[in-house]
Amino acid sequence: MALKDRIKNRRLELGLTLLDVAKVANVSEATVSRWESGNIENMRLDKINMLAKALQITPSKLMEWGEEVGPMPDPISPSERRIKVLARHLDKIPEATREKIIRNFENTLDVYLEAVGIDPED
């Protein structure tokens, strides 16, 4: 299977958009689209590593370099990724607003956990 097909198939398998992959790979949506169309075939090693991270596979598997090296990254859902982005940027938000966001998130989570019968302490 060609690299362009491995990229697109893996992205779709994970239910990610071009934008989801672009954000993690630190490139534009257009670049991801060009990778998937085969218009860009030669990638720098740092971009291969970031793309593999976005697709939750090892660079070796993505590029079909042969034997796997290192552990597979833990899968992360698009929702978890969005929460991580928010967490990274919380310090940039004024403290009063930040506290409101955190309190709102905690309250929403408590309501959800109660509705599905999960103990919040678990």
pLDDT digits (tens, 9 = 90+) for 8-41: 999 999 999 999 999 999 999 999 999 999 998 7
CB-CB contact of 31 with 57 (8 Å)? no
In this prediction, residue 46 carries a pLDDT of: 84
What is the model's pTM?
A: 0.55
pLDDT digit string (tens) for 59-116?
988 988 876 655 555 667 778 888 888 888 888 999 999 999 889 989 998 898 889 9
**If we measure between CA atoms, which residue out of 38, 31, 27 comes closest to residue 3?**
38
In this prediction, residue 15 carries a pLDDT of: 93
In this prediction, residue 86 carries a pLDDT of: 83
In this prediction, residue 34 carries a pLDDT of: 95
Instruction: Round to whole Å and give the CA distance between 95 and 101.
Output: 10
**Separation in Å, CA 34 to CA 16, 45, 77, 98, 110:** 16, 17, 24, 38, 43
